[in-house]
Structure 1
Amino acid sequence: MSDRFIERSFAYMVEKVSDYAIFLLDTSGLILTWNPAAEAMKGYPGSEALGRHFSMLYTDEDQRRNHPDHNLEHAARHDTFQESAWRQRKDGSLFWALVEIIAIRNDSGELEGYCKLTRDLTNLKELQDRLAAEKVRAELTLRAIADGVISVDTAGMVEYMNDQARTLTGWSGEEVKGLGIEQVFNIIQPDAADSEDEAPGPTVSGNMSPRRTSVLRARDGSRHVIDMCQSPIPCEDGRPCGTVIVFHDVSERQRMESALHDAARRKDEFLAMLAHELRNPLAPVSAAAELLAMGKLGAGPARKASQVIIRQVKHMTALVDDLLDVSRVSRGEITLRMASLDMKIVIGSAIEQVRPLIESRGHTLAVKLAPATAYVSGDEKRLIQIVANLLNNAAKYTLPGGHIDVELYTADNQVCIAVSDNGIGIAPEAQPTVFELFEQVQRTSDRADGGLGIGLALVRSLVRMHEGTVSCHSEGLGHGSRFMVCIPRLAPEAPVPDRRIADRLADLPHAHTRLSILLVDDNVDASDMLQFFLSTIGHEVALAHTAGAALEAIDRSTPDVCILDIGLPDSSGHELAMNIRKRSSAQPVLIALTGFGMSQDRDKATEAGFDHYLVKPADLDALARLLADVPPRGTSFLPGR
């Protein structure tokens, strides 16, 4: 084969190759040859390229940095220069090029020029950039998700772990290199938290596993309940190249589900207890009412039956008041009327409230008061409620003939009250939740005197509102209980009124002036009884059982006072109040009497024009005092006049 043939063949190949721009440069970088592929790639016809410096193919930035001459110098020193970089076409567009410059030397080793080869790899560059961007997005996604992700090769060796997986397992990314999945991802029996028995761990397989719940033992020994599944990573031929394991910590979710289940159970037990507690007083009330309705009782038995009704109604009212108090506290609607108080007087008042229960169960009550002053800043009514609730609990949960101790002492700028009993006690596991709502039903189900399980929750809330603390202690069932409340103590020199609550209670005021009153209520029994009471204390009372009848009566004569139920059969009490305001020039005093006791109900009544708001069953003392302050107009008001 002649040199001429080889030379012609090489020239032909250079001419016909389509992927590479091939051209020769002299030692200064001027273009000597220009193949068709170079013309197509660069956009310059050979006539424009020949004789020009090859730097015209570089970007403006590369030219400013003198890259063309640097590349030639590198090739001259090292025989070759290679790089991947942006190159510029005639129209100014850029393409990603794989460039090689080869130094050409003669037989003596002297430099005679350069051969430059360029390949357009723009499509490959774009693909690589997209893949890199996808990798970054995937990594950011894997970091952001709450799931742990681990990839494993076919030999079961860990290849990758995201941040959540590292957190849950306790292994860092560097530490897991060369470790098997069983060592890093340690699964144990989900139903044996203290067992060392291992559960089936992840395996490298060709099938996607169903999601299952397991227990993951971390590197430090801590345990996490997880939901996990695994899926094969396919190769090009479809065979698995490894496995990806995805798992999520559900420990907190399980705790929340357990708490919700417990709350639902306690709610159901509370509703059952509420029904029980309301039926208890209804039985004697119903029996006493039936006896009174017979009309055959003498004065003594009739009084006894009436006393039973009064006593049981007060008990039912107390139950409802407790419910409302808890609701108001939870919504922040209770406002404390703060004053300087002597806690010794508060304890005395609370004992007076609970004494009938204590005496009825035959308990012995011992009271020990500290000799030092015990002044606090607090709401007198609420502080009495706190102590009375604790005493009530002690009396109810102590068998008849038991012993109750009340101790008051001062320590560390606090006034503390301890109420102890030798009653049924509290199991250790129940003590942390004894101040939770409805927890009473957990203590005993066969107690003679009930409660709704909200008393201690109310105590805790009221104590916290006084910036105090409350705690309980019991050695267990059958060993009694001790509850302690501590309230910040006032300085001994703080002014404290020296008076007892009982001294401030006024007698029930009798009407010194006769008022005309329209009482509107669709409950006939309730309205009859309230009419009887108001008439007894000296007022003139007319009844109406519908809003229509009430407006007809007012059209005939306007009363001094209207006491209106809110829920009427033909209209609401709010609408009736607004109609009375519109139709009567002589504006009567409007009093709402209703079973709705929320703050929004009071606001709505005020907007409707009511002057006062009472919640059923009405506090008759409060109603009598309210009426005592109403000036009469001297008119008579009777239906039909």
Structure 2
Amino acid sequence: MQSNSTVSILLVDDHPENLLALEAVLGGLGGNLVKAHSGEEALRCLLHQDFAVILLDVQMPGMDGFETATLIRSRERSRYTPIIFLTAFSTSENMVFKGYSLGAVDYLLKPIEAEILLSKVSVFVELFEKAQEIKRQAAQLEAMNTELRTSEERFRLLSACSPVGIFLTNVEGYCTYTNPRCQAICGFTLPESLGDGWLGFMHPEDLERVRDTWFACAQNVREYSGEVRFQQTPETVRWTHVRSSPMFSNEGKLIGHVGTIEDITERKQSEEVRAQIIQEQAARQQAETANQMKDEFLAVLSHELRTPLNAMLGWAQLLRTRKFDDATMQRALEAIERNARAQAQLVEDILDVSLIMQGKLRLNRYAVGLKTIIEAAVDSVRPQAEDKSIGLTVEYDESANRVCGDPDRLQQVVWNLLSNAVKFTPEHGEIAVRLKRDDGQAVIEIADTGMGIHPDFLPHVFERFRQADSTTTRAYGGLGLGLAIVRHLTELNNGTVTAHSKGEGTGATFTVKLPLWDSQADQNGSCPTSEQTMSSTDLSGIQVLIVDDEVDTREFLILMIEQHGASVRAVASADEVLELLHGLMPDVLVSDIAMPEKDGYELIQAIRKRPADRGGNLPAIALTAYATEGDCEKAIAAGFQQHIAKPVDPEELIAAIARLAKSPIAQPLATE
């Protein structure tokens, strides 16, 4: 075999020719042949290097081979170096024995056969090389063990001192190790955390979600990241952020998962505090906005109520103190009437909004034609449109005519939208009203070429008390209630209303959609016809007693109720009612509340104390300007069957009279 160049062979002989001969024989091994001419020189060579074998001549001047061998064996480094003695003399057994006793591995006689020498030296060279390889591997293994011990110690220190929790799992996702920080965060010990034991310390609300997601990630060799709550005690909950990644060997084989757990409880608490602060700020901002809107609304309300009063009172004072010609008188009366109607509309809007906010707005729904409703609304606004030279066009689709709804409230919807269109459309503008059919719905479109709606305000256009700006309110008038009433009335009639505008100066389009009424589909008569409704409010044969201290109100109520066929008697005070009940037994009493001397509450209480045959069970309606929910409850508690607010809705009053007249012992009605 060929020796490594690091293998050295020491040749010791005092004759140079013998060294040359040995070198010639062993040169083929490729080793490093070191020559020494004496025992002393050989010992010096052994001071600096190791040899695979030493060929040592026995007969040398000065220090012979045996003495040299003795000194070689006395050194620790060369104690086990193989020595082959060479001699030209016949060897006696004593000499051979002496050589072997000094540690020789062989004894060769000169002249030495080359093959034998080469064979023996090769064996020792090969043994030396193997010994060197074993030493190298042992050193490498020791270095690896040292590195492993260092790595394990480093991991132990890192794990024990880490500010975040660390855990290890097997390939299936079951825990095999948790560090002290992980145990402190989650509230378990190392044995409790192993396997799937760590799941038992999780918050119950997170358990199922985390367990399913965790093992799915482990099975599919994916990273995991999520927020998890651990419940150390019933009172102590820790928020954590858990992350994990697959671990692979150098060969790319999955060997498990490594993860971290970070305590984020303080961060979560800070986020909750911050969210609460933001909510409080938002609530405060909303309250401030609401207060500002209320203040603006009250300012507008004051302005809108005082403006018509100024004209009415001014003209009334002039008419009383001066004489005018017929033309001026007519102009004054028209101004008073116009401003009175405007003020009445403001009051109506306020009352409608009050009923809407209390959820008590009542509808009388039956099958009606939208064409008639639209025509009536158009006719009512046409004079104002003509005054501004506004073109007003109407288109009808007869197939979209019939719906089930309250005709008065639907007319109010169309009238409000048309009034807005006229109000915000400049002179010589255009307003188009279209009734059409779309996907089983009746669609009313009112489009104008007016001032339009700013995109920022468009989402708020149907909100109560909202105006685009106060200057607009002053310029065009109004309380900002009309469109809110439109939306609510439309929804009560099972419809929807939307607004569209490309921006200021581009006009606006309002679209009302209502379900069409099918007489064939309405077999149970859930939506009666107008003829059926009118017949239900026929008061023929019914006697009504009215008490109100205002003469105008009494005359209005008498005329209205008599038009429905009833017999009406009206008085001005509670005492007159009690006097009449001695000889008169009406079917229904309609009583004002605020009256001088004895109010309506005292009257109804006095009636309820009477026996039945003297009117004690007389059905009674409280008709009053006190219109709050508390006023309604007070009237019912006093003994009235129903509370109706002024200004009175004629149909509501007639329907109430008809109902109570048919049931003399009717129970109190909650106002809708």
TM, length-normalised to structure 1: 0.51
1:533 and 1:413 map into 2 onto residues whose CA distance is 42
Please point out which of 601, 608, 618 is paired with 1:574: 601
1:563 and 1:413 map into 2 onto residues whose CA distance is 44
The match for 1:312 is 339
Q: Secondary structure at the match of 1:440?
A: coil
Q: How far did residue 298 of structure 1 move?
A: 6.9
Structure 2 residue 499 is the aligned partner of structure 1 residue 472: yes
Amino acid at match of 1:340: A
The match for 2:94 is none
Structure 2 residue 433 is the aligned partner of structure 1 residue 364: no
Show the 5 A alignment for 1:136-215: 172-174=241-243
CA contact (8 A) 1:441 1:453 kept: no
The match for 1:484 is 511
Q: How far did residue 477 of structure 1 move?
A: 1.3
The match for 2:351 is 324
The match for 2:437 is 410
CA contact (8 A) 2:309 2:339 kept: yes
Q: How far did residue 627 of structure 1 move?
A: 11
2:417 and 2:534 map into 1 onto residues whose CA distance is 24
Please point out which of 605, 608, 617 is paired with 2:635: 605
Q: How far did residue 405 of structure 1 move?
A: 1.1
Q: 1:445 to 1:173 in 2, by over 3 A?
A: same
Structure 2 residue 268 is the aligned partner of structure 1 residue 268: no
Q: Secondary structure at the match of 1:396?
A: helix
CA contact (8 A) 2:473 2:479 kept: no
1:436-490, Cα deviation, whole Å (9 max, x unpaired): 1112353752554422212212222222233332211111111111111112234
Q: Structure 1 stretch 529-538 or stretch 470-479: which is displaced more?
A: 529-538
Show the 5 A alignment for 1:284-299: 284-294=311-321, 296=323
Of Structure 1 and Structure 2, the greater helix share is in 2
Please point out which of 594, 607, 614 is paired with 2:624: 594
2:653 and 2:326 map into 1 onto residues whose CA distance is 27
Please point out which of 454, 471, 494 is paired with 2:481: 454
1:175 and 1:615 map into 2 onto residues whose CA distance is 70
Show the 5 A alignment for 1:622-641: none
Q: 1:163 to 1:310 in 2, by over 3 A?
A: farther
1:621 and 1:300 map into 2 onto residues whose CA distance is 37
The match for 2:646 is 616
Please point out which of 360, 381, 388 is paired with 2:415: 388
> How many correspondences in the alignment?
410
1:313 and 1:577 map into 2 onto residues whose CA distance is 33
1:532 and 1:299 map into 2 onto residues whose CA distance is 28
The match for 1:167 is none
1:382 and 1:263 map into 2 onto residues whose CA distance is 28
Q: 1:534 to 1:599 in 2, by over 3 A?
A: closer
Segments of 5+ residues of structure 2 without an aligned counterpart are: 1-182, 190-197, 207-225, 231-238, 246-258, 563-567, 662-672
2:492 and 2:555 map into 1 onto residues whose CA distance is 41
Q: 1:610 to 1:267 in 2, by over 3 A?
A: same
Q: How far did residue 363 of structure 1 move?
A: 1.8
Q: How far did residue 426 of structure 1 move?
A: 0.9
2:460 and 2:294 map into 1 onto residues whose CA distance is 15
Q: How far did residue 602 of structure 1 move?
A: 4.6
Q: 1:248 to 1:319 in 2, by over 3 A?
A: closer
CA contact (8 A) 1:266 1:439 kept: yes
1:161-205, Cα deviation, whole Å (9 max, x unpaired): 8859xxxxx993337999999xx99xxxxxxxxxxxxxxxx9xxx
1:343 and 1:607 map into 2 onto residues whose CA distance is 41
Structure 2 residue 285 is the aligned partner of structure 1 residue 258: yes
Amino acid at match of 2:516: R
**Percentage of identical aligned residues:** 32
2:482 and 2:314 map into 1 onto residues whose CA distance is 29
Q: How far did residue 281 of structure 1 move?
A: 1.9
Q: Secondary structure at the match of 1:319?
A: helix
The match for 1:432 is 459
1:630 and 1:162 map into 2 onto residues whose CA distance is 65
Q: 1:294 to 1:501 in 2, by over 3 A?
A: farther
1:299 and 1:626 map into 2 onto residues whose CA distance is 44
Q: Secondary structure at the match of 1:268?
A: helix
1:295 and 1:529 map into 2 onto residues whose CA distance is 26
Q: 1:132 to 1:492 in 2, by over 3 A?
A: closer
1:300 and 1:518 map into 2 onto residues whose CA distance is 39
Q: Secondary structure at the match of 2:392?
A: strand
CA RMSD of aligned residues (A): 5.5
CA contact (8 A) 1:350 1:387 kept: yes
Amino acid at match of 1:290: Q
Structure 2 residue 415 is the aligned partner of structure 1 residue 346: no
Q: Secondary structure at the match of 1:334?
A: coil
Amino acid at match of 1:403: E
Q: 1:413 to 1:602 in 2, by over 3 A?
A: same
Q: How far did residue 431 of structure 1 move?
A: 0.7
2:282 and 2:323 map into 1 onto residues whose CA distance is 62
Between structure 1 and structure 2, the one with the greater Rg is 2
Q: Secondary structure at the match of 2:361?
A: coil
2:578 and 2:485 map into 1 onto residues whose CA distance is 46
Amino acid at match of 1:450: G
Q: How far did residue 394 of structure 1 move?
A: 0.9
Q: Secondary structure at the match of 1:390?
A: helix
1:56-112, Cα deviation, whole Å (9 max, x unpaired): xxxxxxxxxxxxxxxxxxxxxxxxxxxxxxxxxxxxxxxxxxxxxxxxxxxxxxxxx
Structure 2 residue 388 is the aligned partner of structure 1 residue 376: no
1:247 and 1:609 map into 2 onto residues whose CA distance is 54
CA contact (8 A) 1:440 1:454 kept: no
Please point out which of 393, 401, 419 is paired with 2:428: 401
2:370 and 2:651 map into 1 onto residues whose CA distance is 27
CA contact (8 A) 2:582 2:614 kept: no
Q: How far did residue 383 of structure 1 move?
A: 1.8
CA contact (8 A) 2:243 2:260 kept: no
1:298 and 1:471 map into 2 onto residues whose CA distance is 50
2:424 and 2:445 map into 1 onto residues whose CA distance is 16
Q: 1:569 to 1:180 in 2, by over 3 A?
A: same
1:347-389, Cα deviation, whole Å (9 max, x unpaired): 2122123333333333211112235443322222222222211
